[in-house]
């Protein structure tokens, strides 16, 4: 649609310019835009599609979250998910999360985006979580993320929320472990099959050098302690390195994740003693 026309042109232009330059966007700014423009959502949609200015795109998305979107606006919002600006990505995710009536269109598009754009996986997972069971079809493509320590926690939470696909027993146990619902009896029953998967996870990164992985790594280590009587030699080497860290040095390495890493160190000490 044309942005402005007829006798309202000056009033509409002034209102839009004010909205795009306001220090912050709140309910008052949205209300003023609604009063001045007969179709404010359509105008903001045109801005979202037509500009590369990240601030304007962000403001357009904030408005669309409140004003609502129609089916023809969904592609532009989906495209904004891959914007280079994190704030634009997050705003687009909030719009999609708010308008779940388009799940049938959005979920397949987000599955493709998740597979093709690793950098936006976190915001895509948030949309799936908001959709719940309506995002069930995304489950199968998410499962591989259970093996990536930096993604595993968010993936497990998402799978738990949307209803897991046909997971095998080990995958299902991993979801439970990562969401703090591990079942000791089930862990022991799975035995070597689960232990092998947990070992691969523990060896896939050095947690104190990949701080984002620490919360998931700690949970997996605790489960590993439940399922094995003696750690394998490769895992033992990692654990020996961990237990040699003094608390002050460990804090310097991991910063805000110190409490999580400290819990992991206690488990590591017990496993080393078993060896």
pLDDT per position as a tens digit, 47-69: 999 999 999 999 999 999 999 99
Give percent of the chain above pLDDT 90: 72
User: Can you tell me the distance from the alpha carbon of 2 to that of 241, in angstroms, rounded to the nearest whole number?
Assistant: 65
Q: Residue 2 pLDDT > 70, yes or no?
A: no
User: Can you tell me the distance from the alpha carbon of 90 to that of 125, in angstroms, rounded to the nearest whole number?
Assistant: 11
Return the pLDDT at 12.
79
pTM, 2 dp = 0.84
pLDDT per position as a tens digit, 197-226: 999 999 999 999 999 999 999 999 999 999
Q: Residue 5 pLDDT > 70, yes or no?
A: no
Return the pLDDT at 176.
94
pLDDT band of residue 6 (cuts 50, 70, 90) is low
Tell the residue number behind the tokens 């390195």, with chain if given.
Answer: 241
pLDDT band of residue 248 (cuts 50, 70, 90) is very high
């Amino acid at each position: 649609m044309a942005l402005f026309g007829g006798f309202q042109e000056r009033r509409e232009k002034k209102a839009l310019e004010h909205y795009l330059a306001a220090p912050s966007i709140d309910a008052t700014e949205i209300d003023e835009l609604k009063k001045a423009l007969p179709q404010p959502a359509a105008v903001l949609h045109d801005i979202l599609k037509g500009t590369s200015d990240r601030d304007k795109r962000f403001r357009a998305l904030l408005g669309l979250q409140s004003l609502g979107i129609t089916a023809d606006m969904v592609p532009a919002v989906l495209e904004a998910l891959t914007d280079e600006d994190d704030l634009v990505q997050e705003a687009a995710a909030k719009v999609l999360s708010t308008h779940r009536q388009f799940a049938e269109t959005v979920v397949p598009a987000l599955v493709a985006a998740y597979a093709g754009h690793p950098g936006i996986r976190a915001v895509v997972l948030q949309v799936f979580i908001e959709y719940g069971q309506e995002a069930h079809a995304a489950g199968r493509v998410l499962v591989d993320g259970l093996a990536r320590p930096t993604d595993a926690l968010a993936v497990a939470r998402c799978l738990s929320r949307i209803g897991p696909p046909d997971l095998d027993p080990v995958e299902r146990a991993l979801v439970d472990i990562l969401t703090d619902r591990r079942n000791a009896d089930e862990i022991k029953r799975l035995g070597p099959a689960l232990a092998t998967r947990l070992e691969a996870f523990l060896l896939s990164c050095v947690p104190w050098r990949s701080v984002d992985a620490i919360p998931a790594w700690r949970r997996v280590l605790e489960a590993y302690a439940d399922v094995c009587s003696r750690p394998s030699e490769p895992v033992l080497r990692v654990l020996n390195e961990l237990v040699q860290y003094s608390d002050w040095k460990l804090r310097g390495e991991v910063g805000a994740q110190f409490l999580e890493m400290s819990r992991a160190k206690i488990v590591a000490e017990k496993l080393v003693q078993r060896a």
